[in-house]
Amino acid sequence: MRKLLVLALLLAGSGVAWADSIPTVVNETSRSPVWTVTVFNDSGATLTSGDVVVWDQADADFTSEGNPYVITSTTADDPWTAGVMQTASCPDQSLCEIIVYGIAEHVLIDDATDAAPVDTAVGISPTNAGNVSSYASGADTCMLGIVLDMEATDGVDNAPARVFVNVSCD
């Protein structure tokens, strides 16, 4: 009997330890969690909230704190897609936060000829750095996520959209 009591206490204690490490509890009245990563802006320009970034493969260095470098890209559906800038304004050579999973409130859709509609997969735009356009699945490509809704009418140049970020690569 004493062994069962000790086992029950050990299991209960370990369950509490695991529950304590859950970052966010989500229910029907709360939003899904947003997962962020601290990165180093190595793009050569100031990035703003909503800019889509990729891991910097040409300069694969890390800061002394271990923060990976990010830049913008015009490689369609870039295989190094990292996420969406969350920091309001991130000067070049500064630390910033990017969203790697969850809802990004303001992501620019490329242009009127490729205004990805709601419930459409999007990836890095081949024409405008920091923007997204409709995703075309293929070898060595990555999708940024899914358009949830548009803040402006479909077909508007650089229409801001809410995107559920969930980077997925082929």
DSSP 45-75: S-EETT-EEEE-STT--B-TT-PBEEE---S
- For 37, the 3-state DSSP assignment is strand
Residues 133/122, Cβ–Cβ less than 8 Å: yes
The pLDDT assigned to 108 comes to 86
The pLDDT assigned to 17 comes to 42
Q: At 143, phi and psi to the nearest 5?
A: -95, 140
Between β-strands 89-90 and 47-48, what pairing exists: parallel, antiparallel or unpaired? antiparallel
Q: Nearest-5° angle of CA 47, CA 52, CA 57?
A: 90
Question: What is the distance between the alpha carbons of residues 58 and 18, in angstroms, rounded to a whole number?
Answer: 39
Question: What is the distance between the alpha carbons of residues 16 and 91, in angstroms, rounded to a whole number?
Answer: 42
Q: Where are the domains positioned within the chain?
A: 31-169
The pLDDT assigned to 127 comes to 87
Q: Quick one: which of 47, 46, 74 has its CA closest to 132?
A: 74
Question: What is the distance between the alpha carbons of residues 142 and 35, in angstroms, rounded to a whole number?
Answer: 18
Does the model's pTM come out above 0.85? no
Enumerate helices (H) and strands (E) in the chain, giving the number of each.
Answer: 1, 11
Dihedral sign of CA atoms 31, 98, 67, 60 in order: positive
Going residue by residue through the chain (170 aa), what tens digit of pLDDT does each one get?
A: 555 454 454 445 544 443 333 344 555 555 678 999 999 999 999 999 999 999 998 766 777 778 899 999 999 999 999 999 999 999 999 999 999 999 998 898 876 666 677 888 999 999 889 999 889 888 999 999 999 987 665 555 667 888 999 999 98
Tokens of 92: 């070049």
Residues 142/167, Cβ–Cβ less than 8 Å: yes
Tokens of 137: 């699945």
Taking the domain 31-169, which CATH number applies?
2.40.300
